[in-house]
Chain A
Amino acid sequence: MAENTNTTPILELRKLCRYFGGLKAVNEVDLVLQPHALNGLIGPNGSGKTTIFNVITGIYEPTGGEVVFEGQSIGGLDPYIINQMGIARTFQNIRLFPNLTVLDNVRIAYHTHAGYSMSDAIMHSKHFDKKENELTEKAQDFLRVFNLQDRQAEIARNLPYGEQRRLEIARALASSPKLLLLDEPAAGMNPKEAITLMELIHFIRDKFDLTILLIEHQMRVVMGICEHITVMDFGQVIARGSAQDVQKDSHVIEAYLGPGAAELSKQYLKERKQ
C-alpha cells in the first residue's frame, strides 16, 4: 500500500485504550486505515480485537485515546450516529433480526435513507408509496449481490448458517458505509466456503468502494486477501505489515505458539532449506 501512504487515512486510532476495571483489553493501540484498503486484524483469543470493533462502532466508550474517522473524532458518540457517519459492522456471533424476513433485515438498515416522514407513513400518502417502493427495490438489489434474492420472504433465523453470514454483510452494506468492519466473517465455514466468502469480500470492496477491516482466525484466508495485517496480543499491537512480514515476525510466532517457538521455527526453516 506504499502508493497510498500520502492520502489522508479514513480511520485512525491514536493511543486508544479501553479498560474493564483492571483488565487492559485495549492498551494504547495505534492503527491507521488507508481508503480502499483491505486490512486484517488478527491475534490469539482475548487479545482485544472485538473490543476495538466495539469502541470504533461506539458500543463502548474509549477509556483513553482517540478514534478519528475522516478527520473527525468519533470516540464516545452513539453507535447509531457513527453508523450514519459511515461505519458499519457485522458481529462475531451473528446478530440478525431473527424473526423478521430477509428483506426486512436489509430494509431496516436502509431506514435512515427512507425519505418519508412518520406522518407520510401513517397517512399512507402517495409519497410514501413511491419511496417505499424505491427502498424495497434497493434492498432487493443488495440481496441480488449476495445471491439471496430468492430467500427474501424467508424468516432470517431459518436460513442456513452461511446465508445468515452473507445476509449480515448485506445488511451492513445497506446502511451505505465507507468503512466496513467484519468480525470473523468466515467463522464456522469450511475452507471452500471461506474462500468463496473472501472472493465476495474482495468483490464488494471494489463494487462499493469500501475500506474493510476484518478480524479472522483462519490464517489461510487472512494471509490470502488482506493487504495489510495488524497483529494484537494482550491488548497491544505486536506486529504490522504485509502477510509475509507478519508471518516471519518472531513476536507473532511466539504469541501464537508460545515462548521459544520463534527460535524453533527458525531452526525448522533452516533444516528444511538444507
Chain B
Amino acid sequence: MNRLNKTSIFFLVGAVLVFGIVQALISAGIINSFWSTIVLLAGVMAIVSLGLNLIYGFNGQFSLGQYGFYAIGAYTAADITYRWVQLHSASGLTVILMISILVGLAIFLIRGVVSKIRGMDTLSAFALYLAGVLVAIFIATRLGMLIANPVTALFNLMPEKVAQYVVYLIAVLLGGLIAGEVSFLFGLPVLTLGSDYFGIATLGFTIIVKVLLDNSDTMLGFDEMKGARGMIGIPKITTWATVFIFLLITIIVIRNLLNSSYGRAIVSIREDETAATSMGIDVAFYKTITFVIGSFFGGLAGGLYAHINGFLHPNTFSFVKSFDPLIVVVFGGLGSVTGTVGAAFGWALVLEGVLRLILPEGFETWRFVIYPTLLLIMMLLKPNGLFGNYEIPFIRSVVPPLKEKKADEETAKEVA
C-alpha cells in the first residue's frame, strides 16, 4: 500500500500526457474552437456523470435530479461572476459564500440536535432543518452585503485577470457547495423512499428547478438571470486546463472514497440494504452523504459549464436533458469510473461532433435518431455498459495479499 506506487505514477503521467497533447493541439490551432468547446463539454459531462454514477451506480439510488443540481451550480456560479464582471461588485460572491458557510453550519448544528432526539420522524426533522436554513440564509444575506464592499476593494488590489479568475474559481466551488446543500435538504425526506419512487421525486426536483429558472426574473427576483430569455454576459473563461484539473480531482476523490471503508459502506447499500443495516451501516446517513457528494460534483460541473459559452438558458436543464448523464452512466457501465469518463467523452464527441459533421446539411437532426439507435444496439449487445465493471489499475481496488500468520493456522485446521 505504497502511497505513490507504480499505478498512481503511471496514471498521473498518463493524465499529464493527455492534458499536454490536447492543450498543445488547442494552442496550435489544430483543434478549432468548435472542437475545443466540445472537448470542454465532454469534460464537464464527465464530472456530472461521475457524480451521478456515485449516486446511482455505486449507491444504487436511481436519480433523475442530477441536472437540477447542475443547473443550480451553473446559475449560482454565473451570478457571482456576472456581478463581478458586469457590476464590478463582489456582492454575489460574499452573499453566496456566507450562505454556503452559514447553511452548512446550521445543518451541522441541527444534525447534532436531531441525532439526540430519539424517534423523531423525518418530516419534523426536515421542518427543523428548513427553518434553520431559512434563518441562516436571512442572516447570511445581511452579512454578505455588509462585507461586499471591503471584499470588492480587496479583489481590486489584484491584477484584473487574476481577480477575475480567482472569483471564477471560488464561484465554481460555491456552485458545487450550494448544490450539495440543496441536495441535503431535498434528499432528507426523499431518500427514505424506495429506489423507483426516489427516481420520480428527483425528476420532480429537476422540473421545479427548470420552472424556477424560467421565471428567475419574476419569481426569484434575479433580474440578471433574465428568466426564459436566457442569461447573457457571463465571462467565457473556462479553459481546458481548468476542466481537466477539476476532472482529475473528481476522479481522484471518487477513487479514494470508493477504495475506503466509507466507499464499501456506500456500495453495500446498493448490494443489500437490509444486510448493510444489520451490519452496523447507517443506511440513511450514507445515502444522504452520497447524494450530497454526487450533487456537489453536479454543481461543480454546472459552474464550469456556465463559463464555456457565456450563455445560460433554462432549456439546457429541461427534464429531457436530465437523462443525458443517466445515459452516459449506463452507457459507460454502472459502477465504473473509467467507463463513465470514457462514455462522457464519447457521447460529446460523437453526438455533437462527428455526427453533426458527417451528416449532410439539413439532416443534423437525424443524429437524435442515430444516437438512440446506437443506444438500443448497445443495450442489446452489452447490457452491462461499454466497460462493464472494468476499471483502469489506478482506480481498481486491489485485494491485498494474504499476510503470513502462523498463530492462527491451528485454528483454521481445527475448523476445517
Contacts and interface: CB of A to CB of B under 8 A. Distances in A.
Interface in B101-128: 119
Interface in A126-165: 126, 128-129, 132-133, 135-137, 140-141, 144-147, 149-150, 152-153
Interface stretch (B265-273, B297-305, B347-355): B265-273
Interface in B256-298: 256-257, 260-265, 267-268, 271-272, 274-283, 289
B416 interface: yes
Interface stretch (B28-36, B45-53, B208-216, B403-411): B403-411
Given A108-B276, A111-B280, A203-B414, A116 B271 contact: no
A153 to B, nearest CB: 4
B261 A135 contact: yes
B369 interface: no
A83 B280 contact: yes
A219 interface: no
A108 B279 contact: yes
A140 B261 contact: no
Contacts, number: 138
B6 interface: no
Contacts of A83: 277-280
B415 interface: yes
B403 A140 contact: yes
Contacts of B403: 137, 140
B161 interface: no
B411 A144 contact: yes
Contact of A97 (B1, B271, B277, B405): B271
A96 B1 CA distance: 27
Nearest to B260: A121
A253 to B, nearest CB: 35
Contacts of A80: 277-283
A118 B274 CA distance: 23
Interface stretch (A84-92, A230-238, A243-251, A261-269): A84-92
Interface stretch (A3-11, A31-39, A99-107, A184-192): A99-107
B325 to A, nearest CB: 22
A207 B278 contact: no
A200 interface: yes
A124 B260 CA distance: 9
Given A101-B399, A149-B412, A207-B411, A96 B275 contact: yes
28 contacts: A59-B274, A59-B278, A79-B274, A79-B277, A83-B277, A91-B274, A91-B275, A91-B278, A96-B275, A98-B272, A100-B268, A101-B399, A108-B265, A108-B276, A114-B262, A118-B260, A121-B256, A128-B260, A135-B261, A136-B400, A140-B402, A144-B405, A144-B409, A145-B411, A145-B412, A145-B415, A149-B412, A172-B279
Given A133-B400, A172-B279, 5 more contacts: A80-B277, A80-B280, A95-B274, A95-B275, A144-B405
A-B pairs, top 8 by smallest CB distance, nearest first, are A121-B260, A97-B271, A114-B261, A83-B280, A95-B275, A153-B399, A79-B277, A109-B279
